[in-house]
Amino acid sequence: MSITKICCIGAGYVGGPTMAVIAQKCPQIQVTVVDLNQERIAAWNNEDVTTIPIYEPGLAEIVAEARGRNLFFSTDVEKAIDEAEMIFISVNTPTKTYGKGKGMAADLKFIELCARQIAKVAKDNKIVVEKSTLPVRTAEALKSILDHTGNGVQFQILSNPEFLAEGTAVSDLLAPDRILIGGDTTPEGEQAIQSLVAVYANWVAPEKILTTNVWSSELSKLTANAFLAQRISSINAMSELCEQTGADVNEVARAIGMDSRIGPKFLKASVGFGGSCFQKDILNLVYIAKSYGLHEVADYWEQVIIMNDHQKRRFSNKIVQTLYNTVADKKIALLGWAFKKDTNDTRESAAIYVADDLINEEARLTVYDPKVSFSKILSDLDYLESRTPGKNKEHIAAAATAYEACQNAHAIAILTEWDEFRSYDWQKIYDSMQKPAFVFDGRNILDVDQMKAIGFVYLGIGA
Ligand code: UDX
Ligand code: ADP
C-alpha cells in the first residue's frame, strides 16, 4: 500500500523532528503531528519558526519549508487518526514512578491511551508504528488492545525505533546509520513493513533499511542504548583510576579508540551521561531481565547506572573537598544545564544532580545555559523533591551571561559542553572571581595549559 497520509501522536523530541524530516523528504505524503498539549502544538505553529518548542540545529528551516505544505501540527487527535493510513506513536514512556516496577519499568500508560484512542476512532485498516522506546513485547500489548476494542478493522503493528541523538537530530534523520523496521512475519505484516520501507526509501539507501521481526527490533533499540551508555560508564570508571594514578583519561581514550575493534566514539569521560533514553532504557532492560529470572544479566547492566550515579556524586564531592571541605554560602557558577550541547532538553542531566548535592552543602549557585530557562532549572530541581520548592529558589539563580554567572564566584563547574564556553575571555572571568579561582571541567573542554597560565586551579574529569 502506498502511504498518502501519516499521523504522528506526540509532538516531542522524537515526533517533531522525525515528522518534519519525513514531510520534507516526502512532499507527496501529508504528515499531521498531534499532541494533547495545546501549548506545545501552538508553539509548533508559531509563525516565527525560531520559537518552535524544540531547539535542534537545522530544524527550524525544515519546519519553515514543509509546514502548511504537507506538514501540520494539530490538537485534533481523532481527525488525524481517522484520516491516516499509517499512525506513528511517539509519546513519552518515562520510568514508572509508582506501583510494580517503580523506578525501573517503563510507564506505558500514555501508549495504552493512544492504542485505545486509535481503536475507538479507526474505521478502516491502519498500520500502527511504535516510535517511542518501549520494552520488548509492547507491540503484543498494543495489538491486544487494538484487536479487542477496535471496530473490526485490521491493525498491523510495526516497531521502528528511533536512533537519533538530540542536538544532531536533523543530521541523524537525514543521514541515518540504519533504519530498523520490525513487523509480523505474515504476508500482511510483510506488506506493512514494505509500506514503511517505501517511505524511508525516499531518501535512505535500501541497504541501510533493515527489516526484522517486532521483538528483535524492540530489543535492538534497548541494546544499542545499553552498549553506548556502557562505553561512557567504562571510560568514566577509568577516569577515577586516572585521577588516583596520574594517567590522563583523554590519552587513554585516544589510544584505545584507535583500535579499530573499539573505535573512537562515545569514549569521552564526563560528569555522567544524561538524557531521556540511556538510564530509562537500561533500567527497562534490567527489569525485563529480572522478570525472566536472569539476575546476572540484570546485575551486569545495572552496574552501568551505578557507575553513572557514582560519577555524578564524585564530581560534586570533589568540588566540596577541593574548596576546603565547605561550600556553604560560597557562590559557585554552573555553566550549562542541558544534558548535552545543542539541545534545550534537560531530562536526567547530570547538572540537576550536581546542583542538588551542592545545595545540600548550602552553596549558592548561579547557572548560565544558552538554551535553558530558569523556570525549567527550578522545576528540574523541584521534581527531585529533595527540599521544598521555596528552598531551591533561595539557593539557585540564573544569569543572562556566563560572565555574570562567574562574577565573584569561588568556583566554576562546567556541566554541558556548549561550544561557546571554549571561546570566552577566560582572563576576564578569572579577574572577576574570588581567589583562588577553581574550574571543575566536567566535560574536559577547556585548554588546560591556558587555564593554568591564567592562574586558575583547573580540575578536569580524570585529572
Ligand atoms: C541517545 C542515543 O545516542 C540515540 O541513538 C537514542 O535514540 C537516544 O539516546 P541522546 O540521549 O540524545 O541519544 O544523546 P547522546 O549523544 O547519546 O548522549 C547521551 C549522554 O551521554 C549525554 O549526556 C552526553 O553528554 C553523554 N556522553 C556521550 C558522554 O558523556 N560521553 C560520550 O563520549 C558521549
Ligand atoms: P520524546 O522525547 O519521547 O519525544 P516528549 O515528552 O518530548 O518525549 O514528547 C512526547 C509527547 O507526547 C508530549 O508532548 C505529550 O504531550 C504527548 N502525548 C502523550 N500522550 C499523548 C496522547 N495520548 N495523545 C497525544 N499526545 C500525547
CA nearest to 355, candidates 313, 324, 321: 313
- How close is the Cα of 333 to the center of ligand 1, in Å? 24
Q: Please tell me the predicted confidence (pLDDT) of residue 135.
A: 74
Three-class SS of 209-249: EEEEEHHHHHHHHHHHHHHHHHHHHHHHHHHHHHHHHCCCH
Q: Look at ligand 1, atom 28, and give the residue with the nearest C-alpha.
A: 266
Q: Which amino acid is at 205?
A: A
Q: Please tell me the predicted confidence (pLDDT) of residue 212.
A: 97
- How close is the Cα of 380 to the center of ligand 1, in Å? 19
Q: Is the CB–ligand 1 distance for residue 273 below 6 Å?
A: yes
Q: Is the Cβ–Cβ distance between 397 and 367 less than 8 Å?
A: yes
Q: Please tell me the predicted confidence (pLDDT) of residue 116.
A: 93
Q: Please tell me the predicted confidence (pLDDT) of residue 139.
A: 84
Q: Which amino acid is at 337?
A: W
Q: Please tell me the predicted confidence (pLDDT) of residue 387.
A: 94
- Rounded Cα distance between 300 and 312, Å, is 20
- How close is the Cα of 414 to the center of ligand 1, in Å? 17
Cα pseudo-dihedral 227, 231, 233, 239, rounded to 10: 180
Q: Please tell me the predicted confidence (pLDDT) of residue 362.
A: 97
- pLDDT-derived band of residue 87, with 50, 70 and 90 as boundaries? very high
Q: What's the N-to-C CA distance of the chain in angstroms? A: 58
Q: Is the CB–ligand 1 distance for residue 221 below 6 Å?
A: no
Least confident of 74-83, 93-102, 152-161: 93-102
Which residues, other chains included, contact 179 with Cβ-Cβ below 8 Å and sequence gap of 6+? 160, 200, 204, 208, 209, 210
Write out the three cell numbers for 2: 502506498
Give the catalytic positions in this structure: 277
Q: Please tell me the predicted confidence (pLDDT) of residue 138.
A: 83
311-325 mean pLDDT = 98
Which ligand gives the minimal distance to the CA of 109? 2
Residue 433: its H or E element: none
Residue 325: its H or E element: none
Ligand 2 pocket test target in 7, 18, 19, 36 with most atoms within 8 Å of CB: 36
- Rounded Cα distance between 128 and 131, Å, is 10
Overall pTM > 0.85: yes
Which ligand gives the minimal distance to the CA of 78? 2
Q: Which atom of ligand 1 is nearest to the CA of 339?
A: 23
* 45-52 LR contacts (CB < 8 Å, sep 24+): 45/73, 52/16
- Rounded Cα distance between 339 and 417, Å, is 9
Q: Please tell me the predicted confidence (pLDDT) of residue 463.
A: 84
63-71 mean pLDDT = 98
Residues constituting the chain: 463
- Rounded Cα distance between 192 and 197, Å, is 9
Q: Is the Cβ–Cβ distance between 214 and 181 less than 8 Å?
A: no
Q: Which atom of ligand 2 is nearest to the CA of 117?
A: 23
Q: Which residues pair with 457 in a beta bridge?
A: 438
Q: pLDDT for 194-248, tens place per residue?
A: 999 999 999 999 999 999 999 899 999 999 999 999 999 999 999 999 999 999 9
Q: Is the CB–ligand 2 distance for residue 176 below 6 Å?
A: no
Encode 59-87: b = buried (16+ Cβ within 10 Å), e = exposed: bbebbeebbeebbbbbbebeebbbebbbb
Quote the percentage of the chain above a pLDDT of 70: 100
Residue indicated by cell numbers 562546567: 414
Q: Please tell me the predicted confidence (pLDDT) of residue 132.
A: 78
Q: Is the CB–ligand 2 distance for residue 37 below 6 Å?
A: yes
- Rounded Cα distance between 325 and 330, Å, is 12
CA nearest to 59, candidates 92, 11, 91: 11
Tell me the CA distances in angstroms from 272 to 262, 311, 414, one per residue in order.
20, 6, 12
Asked if pLDDT for residue 158 goes beyond 80, the answer is yes
- Rounded Cα distance between 38 and 261, Å, is 48
Asked if pLDDT for residue 137 goes beyond 80, the answer is no
Ligand 2 pocket test target in 91, 116, 118 with most atoms within 8 Å of CB: 91
Asked if pLDDT for residue 133 goes beyond 90, the answer is no
Write out the three cell numbers for 289: 531481565
Q: pLDDT for 330-360, tens place per residue?
A: 999 999 999 999 999 999 999 999 999 999 9
Q: Please tell me the predicted confidence (pLDDT) of residue 7.
A: 98
Q: Please tell me the predicted confidence (pLDDT) of residue 149.
A: 83
Asked if pLDDT for residue 43 goes beyond 80, the answer is yes
Asked if pLDDT for residue 134 goes beyond 80, the answer is no
Q: Which atom of ligand 2 is nearest to the CA of 113?
A: 23
- How close is the Cα of 132 to the center of ligand 2, in Å? 9
Q: Is the CB–ligand 2 distance for residue 12 below 6 Å?
A: yes
Q: Is the Cβ–Cβ distance between 158 and 192 less than 8 Å?
A: yes
Asked if pLDDT for residue 271 goes beyond 90, the answer is yes
Q: Is the CB–ligand 2 distance for residue 11 below 6 Å?
A: yes
151-180 mean pLDDT = 95
Q: pLDDT for 433-457, tens place per residue?
A: 999 999 999 999 999 999 999 999 9
- Rounded Cα distance between 83 and 26, Å, is 17
| Cα-Cα-Cα-Cα dihedral sign, residues 426, 430, 432, 438 | positive
Encode 427-453: b = buried (16+ Cβ within 10 Å), e = exposed: eebbeebeeebbbbbbbbbbebeebee
- How close is the Cα of 176 to the center of ligand 1, in Å? 16
Work out the mean pLDDT of the chain and round it to a whole number: 95
45-69 mean pLDDT = 95
- Rounded Cα distance between 70 and 67, Å, is 6
Which ligand gives the minimal distance to the CA of 115? 2
Beta-carbon neighbour count of residue 198 at 10 Å? 14
Q: pLDDT for 367-394, tens place per residue?
A: 999 999 999 999 999 999 999 988 999 9
Which ligand gives the minimal distance to the CA of 90? 2
